Structure 1
Amino acid sequence: MMTEYPIPWEARAAKKREDTLAKIPAEWRLSPADLELATKQRDITGPFIERFLEPEVIDVVKTDSVPLVNDIRAGKRSAVEVTKAFCKTAAIAHQINNCLLEIFFDIAIKRAEELDEYLRVNGKPVGPLHGLPISLKDQFHVKGVDTTMGYVGWIGGNMGITDPTKTHQIESQITKELLACGAVLFCKTSVPQTLLIGDTYNNIIGRTLNPHNNNLSCGGSSGGEAALMALRGSTLGVGTDIGGSVRIPAAFCGIFSLKPTPERLSYRDAANTNPGQNTYRSTLGFISTSLDGCELALKSVLSTRPWLQDPAVVPIPYRQDVFDNVLSRADTSGRAKADHRPLKLGILWNDGIVEPHPPIRRGMAMVAEAVKKAGHKLVDWNPPSHATALKIHHSFLLADGARDVHDHLLLSGEPLIADLQAYFNLRDPIPLLEYQALTVQGLACEQAYSDYWNSMSGDDGQEVDAVIMPIAPHAAVIPGKYTHLAYTEVVNLLNYSAAVIPVTKADKGVDGVDETYTPVNEVDRANWESYDPEIYHGAPVGVQIVARKFEEEKVLGIAKLVHAALKNAQSPA
């Protein structure tokens, strides 16, 4: 039987778009001519978006998280000044590349005023994030604000709740922690319908494109976060990752991210897809315009001792000694110190399933050369089959037969977006015994990978500190052409820690088609044939640096050294 809806889903989505735009102050709205001009640009970052911003606003939003916090604490900038600058930039970013699902600038500015007054009266900040505007992926609840998570049926509430006594009353634990640390929350960013896709498209605001190259996707599912940061509408945001969702958008948009082990930070009272599947949990993570921003976020949130409120969080405080120990092994340019043990890093050139495109090959080679030039050790990484890990992890994501997804679609009658229709048609869930067998297989994969890692100590007896891997077999992808997620999903199955750093950009003059390569399977062929140097030109290329479970401080330190070595290698002699 067909369900009848009093208001068609298309009308509900259109009304939501209108309401969101209405929250942008009139003086910040672009003219039809400006909006049309934006659609004709391949790259809307930097000079393009800055044409709509005053010099003093540009000065604020081009400053990264840590110096901003330091300036506010020292009284060099006010929280109100900083907040208004990011609110305006986010408003422009949304108009030229719809990346926001929720706008609450009024709440943010009032909060900034209160923080400025607190600092003036008390002579000290509220906490380590005092006055810093932080954006949130639209899974996290802020009182008084919708959480749609990309579902039309959630409009006007959160988590599908329509009871007026409960709607908008839920506040995610991470929201409380950020506020306790002095942050200013000002917007929530777009996600794909279901969250389970490496793109950002939903039936509410449509697709969010890549700000560096509008032929391509910004990635997903934390794609709105990364797109906003590429446009400098935020310097620090919170996302989630169950298959690559903070790492993919960061790499595709040329910024940084941190994916912790799931139980390191709190997911309490956050929205999620199929929340009952917790064998391989989604993890909260950070996206930033700097590694220092990721470090600041991790250190700040852990200072609130999240394990006291969320029993799923392991009680591990921020370990400054681990971070410092890593940094002590090299100088500020990333070069290994003669009196310290150099880093020993594995490098996975490809996963044996899908060969990376030429820009990714070149980016990996740049990182490898920079690491070796800086005096660190590099070993080829050929671990147990990623194909097995991918199959197991993917089975868990679909274990409920898409029941949770379809329950939320039924709230409004909206259809699955086209890119999901092949994967999320409703079917029977996995039987219990099959689910348990998959759990055993997943554990076997984790053990085999750990055994391999241990075996790579080799003749020097030095353990591999971390592994450098591609994020995907392509730079920011052509929408609809993302066919292979093993490069990120394997890290989720292993529950490892990972950081993303930007490396370079695709260059049609350098990254020509490799006519000598013969694809090894049909997925490899589809990926290889999708590469067009002209289309991909200008797309950011990033890599992930992967460490073992609960090694967030270690992987941040290694990422900082590798990034420094890369910058040093690229700088003129």
Structure 2
Amino acid sequence: MRLQATPWEVRAAAKRASTLEKIPPEWRLTPAQLAEAANQRDLTGPFIQKFLSAEDVAIVTKDSVEIVKDIKAKKLSALQVTTAFCKTAAVAHQINNCLHEIFFDQALARARELDAYYADKGETMGPLHGLPVSLKDQFHVKGVDTTMGYVGWIGSNLGIKDPSQAHQVESQITTELLSLGAVLFCKTSLPQTLLFGETKNNIIGQTMNPHNQNLSCGGSSGGEGALMALRGSTLGLGTDIGGSVRIPAAFNGIFSLKPTPERLSYRDAANTNPGQNTYRSTVGFLSTSLGGLVLALRSVLSTRPWERDPAVVPIPFRQTTFDEYRARAGSDGKAKPSERPLKLGVFWTDRTVGPHPPILRGLREVVDAVRHAGHKVVDWEPPLHATARRIHFAFLMADGADDVQSHLALSGEPLVPEIAGDFQPRAPLPLLEYQKLTLEGLEYEAAYSDYWNSTAADDGQIVDAVIMPVAPHAAVIPGQYHHVHYTEAINLLNYSAAVIPVTKADKSLDAFDSSYQPLNPVDKLNWESYDPELYHGAPVGVQLVARKFEEEKILAIADIVTAALTTYRKK
């Protein structure tokens, strides 16, 4: 039943216009500049910097750790930093359509308060003092909309049960970030329903990839990935239930961390089908640097979120674990003679859909780099990821699309075409079938764990982590995302995963292999969608996967692998 008499198209258009009106006039681009951007393949780096001052560029090209250090050392003020990122985000949105919510005035006022606090107290408010942090549009900020891509929630907060509390509720992790000194300044775009590997909804349309506007920025935390590719943020909050912080990171050439669910608080955040908690969505981070991920996790866990959210496990940041793993290699990523080298599995293919040439080249580069650094690499052939995907997808769809349909009904908006087939109303999954699938999931987890443990049989050393593709392609051609098994299987296992950027698709290096024999119809679709010219310049990242609640471990290993890649490229 519609609750609004105004047509959804009118409401969406008004929302788009009001968002643009929140950009200060001096930061607005001219029609000629917008036309230039529309015809530009790569919006990153030199292109977006044309619209910024030299001071802006000097600030936004720094990463999170350096920014908070410079503020603490009084080399920069919170106001300087916030102004630079607000301006860059404003430009990014105008040329890339990546924001749902703009609250720059609120952010600038917050920055002034932080500067005054530092001047008065002689100390910073916390480890994130003055750092602008962007938020995927699932997290509530007082006084700001949360639409989660639904027209029916414009003017309110998705997930708020009592309409009188609209704009009054704050997500727990939002409160935690503010207590740490962060400056919140914008909320980023995401796909309708969240359950889509691209970023498209009926409010703002589609967000494309800033590195190559022929391609998608990924999803569902796609706006975060796009904003960071344009340096409109160095640290952001996302969520992941099927790859949603890993896919945008890989597609946009940045870093991300998908923790095990219940490591961070989801309390009072919007979500799709929140009653499905057998395989929970998890809060994660995206950043322009690995150091930003470490800073974010350490800082948020220092607030002891489990004391306010009983769903969070009481595990503080384990610095000792991080240090012990990081100590197994030098700053150059090379294994230390006095320490046991890392043993890494490499997952070349899930045996259902083979990776495109740029992904295979990226995997080979990572493998060559870690071997050159003196670490062990073994092939990884676990239980079929297709089994995990089948089970996991059944849980995502278990409510028969009731939750999605209820939100659509608020405005009468339709499903976007790409996902219309998946979210038509149908009977929910029967309880006994739900329970049967739960047992199948547990059996799969046990089989995967047994395989992992078996890797110690040859040399007495168990695999520390696994190098995997994030998707069988680089940043994908819109409408050609046919296969999510590489990420979704990791959600069923509830493993910890970090994404690191590796390279970019290169038409001169990544030729189409006409001799490839597809394994099945989906593999054929994926393979035939590869066009070296179209994909040229698309970022390529890999995910590094550890087991449950091993976030500190995987961050340390990611740091070693990233250092090894840097060293290898210098040789």
Q: Is 1:497–1:551's contact at 8 Å kept on the other side of the alignment?
A: yes
Q: Letter of the 1:472 partner, please give it.
A: A
Q: 1:464 to 1:520 in 2, by over 3 A?
A: same
Aligned position for 1:68: 67
Which residue of 2 is the match for residue 400 of structure 1? 399
CA contact (8 A) 1:154 1:161 kept: no
Distance change >3 Å, CA 161–CA 309, structure 1 → 2: closer
SS in 2 for 1:263: coil
Q: What per-residue deviation string (whole Å, max 9, x for no partner) do you get for residues 132-171 of structure 1?
A: 0000000000000000000000000001659652110110
User: Who is 1:110 aligned against?
Assistant: 109
- Deviations along 1:318-369, one digit per CA (max 9) or x if unpaired, are 0000000011100001000001000000000000000000000000000000
Q: Is the 8 A contact 1:156 1:162 kept in 2?
A: no
Query: For residues 283-319 of structure 1, what are the alpha-carbon distances to aligned partners after superposition, in whole Å with 9 as ceiling and x for unaligned?
Result: 0000000000000000000000000000000000000
Contact 2:496 2:550 in 1 (8 A): yes
On the 8 A contact 2:159/2:269 being kept in 1, the answer is no
- Matched-pair contact (CA < 8 Å) for 1:327–1:558: yes
Among all aligned residue pairs of Structure 1 and Structure 2, give the percentage whose two residues are the same amino acid. 70
Matches within 5 A, 1:519-538: 519-538=518-537
Amino acid at match of 1:306: P
Give the corresponding residue for 2:210: 211
Q: Say whether 1:126 aligns with 2:125.
A: yes
Distance apart, 1:53 and its partner CA = 0.2
Question: In 1, Cα distance between the equivalents of 2:523 and 2:104?
Answer: 45
The 5 A counterparts of 1:383-398 are: 383-398=382-397
Give the conservation status (yes or no) of the 8 Å contact 2:217–2:475. yes
Q: Are 1:233 and 2:232 counterparts? A: yes
Report the counterpart of residue 245 of structure 2 in structure 1: 246
Q: Where in structure 2 are the equivalents of 1:154-303 lying within 5 Å?
A: 154-159=153-158, 161=160, 165-303=164-302
Question: What is the distance in 1 between the residues matched to 2:262 and 2:322?
Answer: 19
Q: Provide the rounded CA distance (Å) in 2 between the counterparts of 1:163 and 1:389.
A: 37
The DSSP-based 3-state class of the residue aligned with 1:476 is coil
SS state at 1:469 partner: strand
Partner-residue secondary structure (3-state), 2:563 = helix
Q: Does 1:416 align with 2:393?
A: no
Q: Mean alpha-carbon deviation: is it higher for 419-428 or for 264-273? A: 419-428
Residues in 2 aligned to 1:112 and 1:487: alpha-carbon distance in whole angstroms: 41
In the other structure, the counterpart of 2:476 is: 477
CA distance in 2, matches of 1:6, 1:314: 45
Matched, 1:329 2:328: yes
- Conserved in 2, the CA contact under 8 Å of 1:115 and 1:131? yes
Q: How far apart, in 1, do the equivalents of 2:265 and 2:420 lie?
A: 32
- Kept in 2, the 8 Å contact 1:154–1:160? The answer is no
User: How many residues are paired up?
Assistant: 571
Does the C-alpha gap of structure 1 residues 155 and 4 become closer, same or farther in structure 2, counting only changes over 3 Å? closer
Aligned residue in 2 for 1:459 = 458
Q: Aligned-pair distance for 1:458?
A: 2.3
Q: Using the alignment, how far apart are the partners of 1:432 and 1:139 within structure 2? A: 29
Q: Deviations over 1:219-260 (max 9, x none)?
A: 000000000000000000000000000000000000000000
Aligned twin of 1:18:
17
Partners of 2:259 and 2:353 lie apart in 1 by: 26
Q: After TM superposition, give the deviation of residue 457 of structure 1 in Å.
A: 0.8
Deviations 1:165-191 (A, max 9, x none): 211011000000000100000000000
SS in 2 for 1:279: coil
The CA deviation at 1:278 is 0.3
Secondary structure at 2:165's aligned position in 1? coil
Q: What is the match of residue 311 of structure 1? A: 310
Q: Deviations over 1:46-86 (max 9, x none)?
A: 01000000000000000000000000011110000000000
Distance 1:249 1:309 in 2: 30
**How far apart are residue 516 of structure 1 and its match?**
1.5
Give RMSD over aligned pairs: 0.9
Alignment check: 8 A CA contact 1:153 1:160 kept: no
Give the direction of change, closer, same or farther, for the CA distance of 1:421–1:128 in structure 2 (3 Å limit). Answer: same
Which SS does the other structure have where 2:178 is aligned? helix
> Any gaps of 5 or more consecutive residues in structure 1?
none
TM-score of the two chains, using structure 2 as the length reference? 0.99
The letter of the residue matching 2:371 is K
2:494/2:548 contact within 8 Å kept: yes
Could you state the TM-score of these two structures normalised by the residue count of structure 1? 0.99
Local SS of the residue matching 2:106: helix
Report how far residue 463 of structure 1 moved.
Answer: 1.1
Rounded Cα–Cα distance in structure 2 between residues aligned with 1:32 and 1:164: 39
